[in-house]
Amino acid sequence: MASLLEFLRPLARSGGKMVLLVMDGLGGLPHPETGLTELEAARTPTMDRLAREGSCGLSVPVAAGVTPGSGPGHLGLFGYDPQRYVVGRGVLSALGVGLTLEPRDVAARANFATRDGDVITDRRAGRISTETCQRLARLLNERIRLEGVSVRVEPEMQHRAVVIFRGEGLSPRLSDSDPQVTGVPALPVRALEPEAERTAAVVNEFIRQAYAVLEEEHPANAILLRGFDRQPHLPQLPELFGLRAAAIAYYPMYRGLARLVGMEAHVPGPEPADAIARALELWDGYDLLFVHIKGTDSAGEDGDWARKSRVIEEVDRALPPLVERGPDVLVVTGDHSTPAMLRSHSWHPVPLLLWARTARRDRHVTKFGESECARGSLGQIRATEILPLMLAHAGRLNKYGA
């Protein structure tokens, strides 16, 4: 059965300017004292006006009840069914830091972490500085040697890194060593098929040597691996819809996601205002601008409800120049929910705002927030339907059928 992207491809035509503004982990849960989510409590006059003038709803990143990672969450926003296009986090991290993967390479996302004995006490090693991550990556590259396989550790940002295993006969069909929770030991990497047994042994030897190298480092005295994969080949947005597309993202992995689907990646400064300013600089060169904001997700994972709300307010304060520039379509949403109450990604649908001159106004929606969006005219839709809606409102899809 053809995917939605393949179905839409023959309908594509030229049209207007589109902006996809993604506040990572935007969705939240009500605070027990106020009954308001982080988004609902934030002062967002610009987004509220756009919500009143546009159409609102809720987006389901993958499927009901499924908690998505950032990769599946963003692929859905770009129109790719994350149940069909499965991409390991390691590939996204590798592309994000500008690496070129060979067909025989297996990439894994790495976290520097903290352990006490065998028990992982912090999966992010206190969010060490990028400079510390760079030093530790150099240390591992200098000291680790694997028989018949070359290995490269490349720093990403803060506690994040990517590990590339290169050699003949390697398989990405491996389980993660990252347990995804604290208070338990790291997991041994296991082969998910017989052909991956040798690769599992190689990766476990890498981890053993890495622990020895990091023994005296604190807080980053451990390393966790997840998302093993080879680079897949996905249909490209420029070929599908004739789009000149750009990603503006401070964190490398999101630039990797963009490269995977044919977007050109650009690096802004770390603040929301920097990302929006960069989008305005690139305005005339692209049909689709994807603007990524990471701070909402980081605050949610840290359990910092107030900080997440403040980041949303920073985005809103930076937004007016972009609105005034006059996109034909502007979508504001998230790739998934990261409620500070849970300190993790969750399965909850994500607030969605679509502003366009051709949008039907949601007269009963007065503010951009979870409860208000639940009353919006878009209803609850799959994330994969957002890009088709953007294309339609930008006049970029022909009529289907006679």
CATH class of 4-86+233-393: alpha beta
Which residue has tokens 């047994």? 197
Q: Distance between CA atoms of 184 and 203, rounded to whole angstroms?
A: 20
Helix residue spans in 149-232 (DSSP H): 197-214
Divide the 402 residues of the chain into consecutive groups of 10 and give the mean pLDDT of each group. Answer: 84 97 98 96 98 97 96 96 92 90 94 96 95 97 96 94 96 96 96 97 97 95 96 93 97 92 95 98 98 97 96 98 98 98 97 97 93 97 98 97 86
Coil vs helix vs strand at 163: strand
H-run or E-run covering 142: helix 130-143
pLDDT of 1 = 52
Q: Distance between CA atoms of 80 and 72, rounded to whole angstroms?
A: 9
pLDDT of 2 = 62
Q: Which of 152, 130, 118, 96 is nearest to 267 (CA)?
A: 96
Q: Distance between CA atoms of 351 and 264, rounded to whole angstroms?
A: 27
The tokens describing 338, both together, are 């990261």
For the chain, which residues make up each domain, given as ranges? Answer: 4-86+233-393, 92-229
pLDDT of 402 = 82
What are the backbone angles phi and psi of residue 19, rounded to the nearest 5°? -130, 130
Q: Distance between CA atoms of 59 and 385, rounded to whole angstroms?
A: 9
Global pTM? 0.88
Q: Distance between CA atoms of 223 and 221, rounded to whole angstroms?
A: 7
Q: Distance between CA atoms of 273 and 248, rounded to whole angstroms?
A: 12
